Amino acid sequence: MKAKYSVVSVALVVLALLAGSGLVLAEVVTEHEPWQDQHLQADFQLPTGAVSPEELERIREYGEQLFKARFTREEGAGRPKATQAIIPTKRKRVSEFTFSRTAGLDAAACAGCHNEPKLGGAGDFAANVFVSEGFVNADFDSLDPQFSNERNSNHLFGAGLVELLAREMTTELHQLRQQALQQARRTQQAVKVELRTKGVSYGYLTAEPEGVVDLTALQGIDTDLIIRPFSQKGVFVSLRQFTINAMNQHHGMQAIERFGERWTGEADFDEDGIKNEMNAADISALVAWQASLPPPIQQQPADLKWQQAAARGEQIFHKIQCASCHIPALPLKSLSFTDPGGWDLAGTLRQGEQADAKLSYDFALQTWAKQLKRNEKGEFLIPLFGDLKRHVIADEKVAALGNELLSQRFVERDQFMTSELWGIASTAPYGHRGDQLTLNEIIQAHGGEGRAARDAYLALNDTERSSLIAYLKTLVIE
Amino acid sequence: MQALKILLATSACLVAPWLYAEEAKPSLQAAPMDLPVLQDETASSGINQQYTGPWEFFVGGGLAVLDCNQDRMPDVFIAGGEQPAKLYINASQPGQALVFKPQSLELEEQDLKQVTGAYPLDIDNDGFQDLVLLRVGRNILLKGGADCRFTKANKLWSYEGGNAWTTAFAASFEQGQNYPSLAFGNYVDRSAPGSPWGTCHENDLFRPSSKDQPDYHERTALAPGFCALSMLFTDWNKSGELSLRMTNDRQYYREGEEQLWRVPADNPPKLYSRSDGWQRVLIWGMGIAEGDLEGDGFPEYALTSMGDTRLQVLDDEAEEDRPIYKDIAYERQATAHRPYTGEDLRPSTGWHAEFDDVNNDTKLDLFIAKGNVEAMPDFAAFDPDNLLLGQWDKKFYEAGLAAGIALPRHGRGASLHDFNADGLLDLMVVNRKDPVSVFRNLGAKTAQGTQLMGNWLQIELAQHGSNRNAVGATIAIKTGVPSQIRRIQVGGGHASGESGFVHVGLGVAERATIRIQWPDGQWSAEYRVFANQFVLIKKDDPQVRYWYPQ
């Protein structure tokens, strides 16, 4: 039984009264009080299949409502007996406080952190989160980096396009692996193949004739060849997975598809007294809202001097190899977004798992999609300024971005997903900890695989460096 | 007190069905977990084999799962009793219907007859799976070669084979040995005066006599024998020292009991006794399954019988050298004492037992093959196989009916194995006087059909030199806080063994870390793997490799 209020919420209280010779049952009906906080809609109808822009807008409205919601205990906020872990994990003891800046709950609403420059945006340093796997030492109350990795909040604009890119690239990588295996089996020779998709190389894979693949030469991707484009670390495959994780970690709102009876044996895993807190429709609405946020744009400055500097800066951006990782645009074949997608694993709704929860919406019908350029193949050019690949970003001499002590989900401590630069002018401060004040600072902090570009940047003269900054300052969230 | 326990234990077998008659029948609505759909593909599988024969073949009826053509798809060798055993090559496509093709064996037909069961292992460390055939009469060792060619190797490996009625087998590599020790469990000595009552044959242990080649000319008697129907080398106390557990059929022994042998390397085996804390348990022991239900490294054991199945866990009073067990089958709802469907409420007859995770939810499930011995009037005639699904409250949930395996066949040996490389465990059951059952796991039951179940891993271990398949190794699979434990073992079940990938369900975990305790006792470094992969781990290799089916 999902604990929600409908527009006319009715509670039945049965009172047994002794009256005269027999038992009299009285029915007391109470209605929902209009001043009560109410965010979840038990009667929200999620359509299935391909939805029209109008229907998508209705879903988005509900998604935005949930994104802004400051959930109440009656709705399920809080997780007294569950940790922040992505695998349902019990806490050893109930936390003394509902909120905690470290182990969580650390936000009353998604919007509490994702709000710069507007709803769905990034977060100030004040909105940093402390990422812990949540399995051991889940109840840390220290900022000491041995317990958690401190992370700044990313913006979500264009997130649906990012997921679509990752899906297409993952599909191509799996095709490459399959082709290599087929060739190896056919020729009885080992086949080494470069894992290159949309111009991004993820290293090499060697397929042996007996169907075995050697994984030692992969670069910047997990061994299952699934691109996980979300989070600073690149460890979430989809907005749906990210949303389920975040709702539990930050708000203690647990999705049935991960924390429900099927996978935990309990309808109230976090033992807050509320069963089945978020259903598939709630999560789908949140996904729809985030996925269809318009992508950031490159804004032509009104100032002529800025225009000229930005033009020079663009050339420098390429010349000093910033663009080797921050690729200005990646081609996307289709703007059709299905939820759930095809690469999620158990615990996040998968295709075919709940027939009435499969949505499809076409971003091409969104106004913002008209701004997307196309290449000669008709593919949409997604101007994300990224490569959806992880890189080592610190070295011995330039180590500022290697500050973390904990690896996360098998990703080493000094590796991070290339930050997409779209919207960067609107989302200071910078760096995965949000502790680099300016673009100049974050560029200078690049070590590891970014070291050569950083050194080249430092070798520029003041005007050239300023021009590069001028260019980056055109990448805004509208 | 002990006598009272025995009385209670014995009477439970007979009385329990009536006491428990009001227990709820399983239903889809009540199931708090994924119910697997096991589709019966017997008719289309290409497997055509039955286990038949007179009294000697009332017991036995096993199969061996092995990859005999090096394509990593599991093939099967199936006993036929008085009929010849048969080999079937797996021709299934990944995720598709289960298809097998018969493969002729260039062996004397008489050697393939009288077979009660079979176990695969690489005896001579040549990289090919060999086969141990348990027979009524001389046991046979088959040396495996390329393309599923097998040659009789009794002479080559100096194994005489005996002349007993062999019904159980287990093997393991003892410390310092290059070749495995082979233990054979024998049933009734038909030539003994008074047979069959009280005439159980001694059991045999053959330890390798040479480090240069398999040589099994030296027999060590494991006496007394109590008509063993299953045996398993196990490390019950995590000491690293092998023990040999036997489950025995009280139908024929006198003054017998369940047995646990201490098997110290380079020393004669010795029975654990009452002074060691070993308690006398009398059951119609048919099959052994080992699983680590608690995730603590100490194995639990399921023992099938007529009537109640036993589920044994170390008692609080147990110590490192005191194997004291208590039965938790009742509290875990795993007694499986009578048919769970149909009108026949007489006690069940359990045979093969196997733990694995059939619905990939991280909880070990227990499969039990069932079937009347022949026509025993006090026991159920319709006796469907059990699929007991492990639940989060540690109890088991009977899902045999919902899964589709509640068929009127007489089960004996069996195997839960992924025969079509889709990450879901399929099921093959050898039936007495009925066709071998072949069930394909289609996924979790829904109102519309089926859907995906939890994540999974399948793990293959290898090492150089001897014991190439790492028999005796422990695999610890960690997802978040809990670890699941799997062991590479040869033995147990009912006359049935399997080699190849070890399966583990991961539930919602997207990743797992794996550590191996290799047979030499060394723990590996941590391997990091992603879900839904076939993982190959070779000792001392720094990184795993993945295998993909064709």
CATH of the domain at B467: 2.60.40.1110
Q: Which of B477, B501, B508, B528 to mutate against chain A (most A CBs within 10 Å)? A: B508
Min distance A224 CA to chain B CA atoms (Å): 6
> Touching check for B273 and chain A: CB below 8 Å?
no
Instruction: Please give the C-alpha separations between residue B465 and each of A438, B265, B544, in angstroms, as whole numbers.
Output: 60, 20, 19
Indicate the residue among B430, B451, B472 that finishes a domain. Answer: B451
Position B519 in a domain: yes
> Touching check for B452 and chain A: CB below 8 Å?
yes
Please name the residue of chain B whose CA is at the shortest distance from the CA of residue A137: B481
Min distance B71 CA to chain A CA atoms (Å): 7
| Burial class of A126 by CB neighbour count within 10 A (0 to 12, 13 to 18, 19+) | exposed
User: Number of A:B CB contacts under 8 A?
Assistant: 104
Same-domain status, B501 and B395: no
Residues spanned by the domain of A202? 161-214
The whole-angstrom separation of Cα B105 and Cα B77 is: 11
Q: Are B304 and B496 in contact (CB under 8 A)?
A: no
Same-domain status, B68 and B101: yes
The whole-angstrom separation of Cα B471 and Cα B181 is: 11
Same-domain status, A244 and A306: no
Q: For residue range A296-324, what is the model confidence (pLDDT) as tens digits?
A: 999 999 999 999 999 999 999 999 999 99
Q: Give which of B523, B479, B524 is closest to B505, Cα–Cα.
A: B479
Q: Are B473 and B519 in contact (CB under 8 A)?
A: yes
Distance between terminal CA atoms of chain B?
60
Nearest by CB to residue A87, choosing from B453, B480, B546, is: B480
The whole-number pLDDT of residue A6 equals 39
Residues spanned by the domain of B502? 455-547
SS (H, E, C) B136-185: ECCCEEEEECHHHCEEECCCCCCCCCCCCEEEEEEEECCCCCCCCEEEEE
Same-domain status, A302 and A388: yes
| Residue A238 C-alpha from the chain's centroid | 7
- Name the token pair of A67: 């994104």
Torsion of CA B137, B138, B139, B141, to 10 degrees: -150
Q: Which of A262, A354, A356 to mutate against chain B (most B CBs within 10 Å)? A: A262
Instruction: Please give the C-alpha separations between residue A357 and each of A302, A340, A407, B445, in angstroms, as whole numbers.
Output: 46, 8, 34, 17
Position A100 in a domain: yes
Banded model confidence at residue A31, pLDDT cuts 50, 70, 90: low
Same-domain status, A262 and A387: no
Same-domain status, B317 and B206: yes
> Poorest-confidence range of A11-25, A58-72, A385-399, B356-370?
A11-25
Q: Are A4 and A282 in contact (CB under 8 A)?
A: no
User: Which CATH number characterizes residue A435's domain?
Assistant: 1.10.760.10
Amino acid occupying residue A382? I
How many other C-beta atoms are found inside a 10 Å radius of the C-beta of residue A241? 26
Domain count for chain A, please give it: 4
The whole-angstrom separation of Cα A145 and Cα A134 is: 14
Same-domain status, A209 and A106: no
Position A316 in a domain: yes
> Touching check for B458 and chain A: CB below 8 Å?
no
Same-domain status, B120 and B250: yes
How many other C-beta atoms are found inside a 10 Å radius of the C-beta of residue A101? 15
Same-domain status, A96 and A200: no
Position B18 in a domain: no
Amino acid occupying residue A332? L
Same-domain status, A440 and A307: yes
| Residue A69 C-alpha from the chain's centroid | 18
The whole-number pLDDT of residue A20 equals 37
Position A361 in a domain: no
The whole-angstrom separation of Cα A296 and Cα A300 is: 13
Same-domain status, A74 and A176: no
The whole-number pLDDT of residue A32 equals 67
Same-domain status, B509 and B369: no
Contacts of A463 (CB under 8 A, 6+ apart): none
Same-domain status, A306 and A423: yes
| Burial class of B16 by CB neighbour count within 10 A (0 to 12, 13 to 18, 19+) | middle
Indicate the residue among B402, B425, B451 that finishes a domain. Answer: B451
Same-domain status, B358 and B467: no
Average pLDDT over residues A326-334: 98
The whole-number pLDDT of residue B19 equals 38
User: Which CATH number characterizes residue B131's domain?
Assistant: 2.130.10.130
Position B540 in a domain: yes
The whole-chain average pLDDT of chain A stands at 92
The whole-angstrom separation of Cα B427 and Cα B414 is: 7
Same-domain status, A256 and A206: no
The secondary element (H helix, E strand) that includes residue B111 is helix B109-112
Min distance A229 CA to chain B CA atoms (Å): 15
The whole-angstrom separation of Cα A410 and Cα A387 is: 20
Position B13 in a domain: no
> Touching check for B447 and chain A: CB below 8 Å?
no
Contacts of A57 (CB under 8 A, 6+ apart): none
Same-domain status, B508 and B534: yes
Same-domain status, A171 and A307: no
The whole-number pLDDT of residue A142 equals 87
Position A221 in a domain: no
Angle (CA) A1-B401-B51 rounded to 5° is 155
Nearest by CB to residue B550, choosing from A85, A185, A216, is: A185
Q: Are A391 and A361 in contact (CB under 8 A)?
A: no
Q: Which of B34, B510, B536, B548 to mutate against chain A (most A CBs within 10 Å)? A: B510
Same-domain status, B322 and B173: yes
Q: Please indicate whether, in this complex, the C-beta atoms of B507 and A347 are within 8 angstroms of each other.
A: yes
How many other C-beta atoms are found inside a 10 Å radius of the C-beta of residue A90? 16
The whole-number pLDDT of residue B260 equals 98
The whole-number pLDDT of residue B321 equals 94
Min distance A98 CA to chain B CA atoms (Å): 23
Q: Which of residues 348-377 of B touch A (CB under 8 A)?
A: 360-361
Instruction: Please give the C-alpha separations between residue A157 and each of A166, A477, B77, in angstroms, as whole numbers.
Output: 15, 8, 59
Q: Are A429 and A399 in contact (CB under 8 A)?
A: no
Q: Are B174 and B262 in contact (CB under 8 A)?
A: no
- Catalogue the E-assigned strands of A271-412: 297-298, 330-332, 336-339, 359-362, 373-374, 380-382, 390-392
Same-domain status, B111 and B258: yes
Write out chain A residues lying below 8 Å of B543, CB-based.
Answer: 215-216
Write out chain B residues lying below 8 Å of A87, CB-based.
Answer: 479-480, 507-509
Helix A159-187 × helix A239-246 angle, to 10°: 120
The secondary element (H helix, E strand) that includes residue B89 is strand B86-90
- Catalogue the E-assigned strands of B463-544: 474-478, 483-487, 490-491, 497-498, 502-507, 511-517, 527-530, 533-538
Position B428 in a domain: yes
Same-domain status, B358 and B504: no
| Burial class of A125 by CB neighbour count within 10 A (0 to 12, 13 to 18, 19+) | middle
Same-domain status, A46 and A25: no
Proportion of chain A above pLDDT 70, given as a percent: 93
Same-domain status, B403 and B479: no
Position A106 in a domain: yes
- Name the token pair of B207: 């330890």
Write out chain B residues lying below 8 Å of A410, CB-based.
Answer: 511, 528
Indicate the residue among A260, A291, A322 that finishes a domain. Answer: A291
Contacts of A449 (CB under 8 A, 6+ apart): A325, A391, A392, A393
Write out chain A residues lying below 8 Å of B549, CB-based.
Answer: 211
| Burial class of B66 by CB neighbour count within 10 A (0 to 12, 13 to 18, 19+) | buried
Q: Identify the residue with better confidence: A407 or A5.
A: A407
Same-domain status, B84 and B142: yes
**Predicted TM-score of the model (pTM):** 0.93
Position B374 in a domain: yes
The whole-number pLDDT of residue B332 equals 98
Indicate the residue among B432, B451, B470 that finishes a domain. Answer: B451
Question: Above 50 in pLDDT, residue A160?
Answer: yes
Q: Give which of A413, A412, A444 is closest to A431, Cα–Cα.
A: A444
The whole-angstrom separation of Cα B287 and Cα A266 is: 34
Same-domain status, A174 and A96: no
Question: Above 90 in pLDDT, residue A37?
Answer: no
Q: Please indicate whether, in this complex, the C-beta atoms of A223 and B546 are within 8 angstroms of each other.
A: yes
Please name the residue of chain A whose CA is at the shortest distance from the CA of residue B448: A355
Q: Give which of A267, A310, A247 is closest to A39, Cα–Cα.
A: A247
The whole-angstrom separation of Cα B276 and Cα B388 is: 33
| Tens-binned pLDDT, residue by residue, of chain B (550 aa) | 333 333 333 333 333 333 333 343 444 445 789 999 999 999 999 999 999 999 999 999 999 999 999 999 999 999 999 999 999 999 999 999 999 999 999 999 999 999 999 999 999 999 999 999 999 999 999 999 999 999 999 999 999 999 999 999 999 999 999 999 999 999 999 999 999 999 999 999 999 999 999 999 999 999 999 999 999 999 999 999 999 999 999 999 999 999 999 999 989 999 999 999 999 999 999 999 999 999 999 999 999 999 999 999 999 999 999 999 999 999 999 999 999 999 999 999 999 999 999 999 999 999 999 999 999 999 999 999 999 999 999 999 999 999 999 999 999 999 999 999 999 999 999 999 999 999 999 999 998 899 999 999 999 999 999 999 999 999 999 999 989 999 999 999 999 999 999 999 999 999 999 999 999 999 999 999 999 999 999 999 999 999 999 9
Domain count for chain B, please give it: 2
Position A47 in a domain: yes
Position B17 in a domain: no
Position B5 in a domain: no
- Name the token pair of B85: 């055993």
Min distance B395 CA to chain A CA atoms (Å): 11
